Amino acid sequence: MNIIDDIILHSPALIVAIPLLGAFLTPLISKINDKVRNVFVISIVLFTSAIVLLLANDIYSACGKIHTYVFGGTAAITEGGFAVRILFEVDGLNIFMAIITTILAISGVIYSWAFMKENTGLDKYYTLYLLMIAGMFGMILTGDMFNFFVFLEITSIASCALIAFWTSKGKAVDAGFKYIVISAIGALFILFAIAILYGQYNALNMAVLASNIQFSFLDKIALVILISGLAMKAGIVPMHMWLPDAYGRAPASVTLILVGVTQASLYGALRMIFTVYGGKLTTTINQIGDVNIDLNLLLGIFIVGLALVTIFIGVLMALKENNFKRMIAFAAVAEIGYIILAIGAALTTVFSATDPRTGIMALKGGIFHILNDALDIGLLFLVAGAIYYATKETSLNRLGGLARNMKYTTIFFLIGLLAVSGMPPMNGFASKLMIYESTYQVNPILSIIAILCSILLLAVFVKVFHSAFLGPKLPKFDNVKEVPKSMLLAMGIIACIIIFIGLFPDLVVNNIVQPAVNALTNNSNYINNVIGGI
């Protein structure tokens, strides 16, 4: 057995362990000097990414392959049928989220090199940064409910400290406090739901829970608490109030990872709904006349309602906002709305016996949009950070004429603008078109609202483009120079991926998104991989 096979075998543990180890080595390494530390952190992230890619290659090599890694043993179930071992279970959806995290982490650390250079306390910054990445990978890869909670808390503690990193600004500390309150309550809700499930089924393993779940009254309560806890973390209206503050006040390199954290919570919600409760989604809840109201229909309608409110509020608040980063943050709220709109629409139709194609299409669009949203919003935040770095201004009223001095940043912003508002040929167009198409078949009004809000989003960003980059040269910005190369490189990586996905959406949908959708719609694979023997 050669070393590559060994690494692949242990990859789920290594993906979490390497950034964790790196995090606590960083303070030691930074005693040497700053450059060595930066190179060390970047190499840790690159090494982790290489392992993620190896694992991804392994997962995609066979259709529906699942990599299960059990800590402290080989079998997931011990003798006597106790499912007490902690395990990581990686299927198409997990690896899809891990790839997103990888892209964000790489560009985040490269961007940090120049962006954070003038700050003190960078050893702590990088320690927390790697902790956040490790926690995120843990949340994404784990197959154990309690482990999910632990990694969720690791991520939220690290990210809260990073949001309040610029403690000299009162608003940053305020944003950090808001974030920790919301995420602590959200995490406790999740723990409560986990306790309810454990009390009934005596298991914490997602696959074992999914196979045993009875959908009793307590399970319904647990489902509601789980979804509301995860929705708090994902920033879905009406629990979105922490999000613009946290995104807006954190350093731009941190905001990039925060986008990933939000989506990891969204992944959690997907995993709970489609896998843990997957077998019971078609249970009939209520009967009106001859029509059966199934759980998936009820849940789908509820999620679609939340999604519409989320899109509306996000776009409208973005219209009136004057602070550059807060405005992008509201756009991020709206984008999350698009994802859950697609997921809600998929829930209503994907289990119908006659025609599941619409649902599959909506699910594909939603999952694809998770990737695109991370890239688009991430790029915009990096551009906003670059502008802050160059001018020390955040208010749009005091910006102008920057295109003359910062031409590369302008191009990147233009790419991000077109991508986020769903214009061809960027990646946002591909996924949004899938969402429009499928929601139109569910209900035309949904797609009309979605398209309208997308146009409004375009209007918002054209306004920003005009007020920040175009117009006469302002005398106070005479000395503004293009940002350092490492920031340009980070933005360039994301911009290239955006254009690549925009030009070849088929490639991505067929190779990466399709396995994720298969993993969601068919949870028996996930269950059998663990239960298997008995």
Query: Which residue number, 271 or 326, has a Cβ lying nearer to other proteins?
Result: 326
**Integer angstrom CA distances of residue 255 from 137, 247, 268, 350:** 17, 5, 20, 34
Query: Which residue number, 167 or 214, has a Cβ lying nearer to other proteins?
Result: 167
Query: How far apart (Å, rounded) are the C-alpha atoms in residues 428 and 426?
Result: 6
| Least distance (Å) between residue 436 CB and other proteins | 38
**Integer angstrom CA distances of residue 399 from 322, 363, 381, 382:** 11, 40, 16, 17
| Least distance (Å) between residue 227 CB and other proteins | 17
| Least distance (Å) between residue 248 CB and other proteins | 11
Query: Which residue number, 167 or 286, has a Cβ lying nearer to other proteins?
Result: 167
In terms of Cα–Cα distance, which of 158, 129, 134, 123 is closest to 37? 123
Query: Which residue number, 167 or 528, has a Cβ lying nearer to other proteins?
Result: 167
Angle at 191 between CA 162 and CA 513, to 5 degrees: 70
Query: Which residue number, 119 or 511, has a Cβ lying nearer to other proteins?
Result: 119
Query: Which residue number, 46 or 185, has a Cβ lying nearer to other proteins?
Result: 185
Query: Which residue number, 252 or 497, has a Cβ lying nearer to other proteins?
Result: 252
| Cβ–Cβ under 8 Å, residues 12 and 55 | yes
Neighbour-count burial of 199, counting CB atoms closer than 10 A to its CB (0-12 exposed, 13-18 middle, 19+ buried) = exposed
| Least distance (Å) between residue 28 CB and other proteins | 22
| Cβ–Cβ under 8 Å, residues 115 and 251 | yes
In sequence order, the β-bridge partners of residue 90 are: 67
User: Which sign does the torsion angle of CA 392, 396, 402, 403 carry?
Assistant: positive
Query: Which residue number, 195 or 499, has a Cβ lying nearer to other proteins?
Result: 195
| Least distance (Å) between residue 187 CB and other proteins | 8
| Least distance (Å) between residue 331 CB and other proteins | 20
Query: How far apart (Å, rounded) are the C-alpha atoms in residues 308 and 311?
Result: 5
| Least distance (Å) between residue 232 CB and other proteins | 12
User: Which sign does the torsion angle of CA 131, 136, 141, 145 carry?
Assistant: positive
Query: Which residue number, 151 or 368, has a Cβ lying nearer to other proteins?
Result: 151
3-state helix, strand, coil in the chain (%, to 5): 75, 5, 20
Q: How far is CA 270 from the centre of its chain?
A: 12
Query: Which residue number, 142 or 438, has a Cβ lying nearer to other proteins?
Result: 142
Q: Which residues bind other proteins (CB under 8 A)?
A: 84, 146, 149-150, 153, 157, 160-161, 164, 167, 170-171, 173-177, 180-181, 184-185, 188, 191-192, 195, 198-199, 204, 245, 323, 394-395
| Least distance (Å) between residue 326 CB and other proteins | 11
| Least distance (Å) between residue 176 CB and other proteins | 6
Instruction: Give exposure, 381-397, as e/b (b: 16+ Cβ within 10 Å).
Output: bbbbbbbbbbbebbebe
In terms of Cα–Cα distance, which of 248, 247, 267 is closest to 258? 247
Query: Which residue number, 21 or 218, has a Cβ lying nearer to other proteins?
Result: 218
Neighbour-count burial of 222, counting CB atoms closer than 10 A to its CB (0-12 exposed, 13-18 middle, 19+ buried) = buried
Say which residue the tokens 């896998």 belong to. Answer: 275
| Least distance (Å) between residue 181 CB and other proteins | 6
| Least distance (Å) between residue 491 CB and other proteins | 25
The full 3-state SS of 236-291, as one line of letters, equals CCCCCCHHHHHHHHCCHHHHHHHHHHHHHHHHHHHHHHHHHCHHHCCCEEEEECCE
Provide the 8-state DSSP code for 394.
-
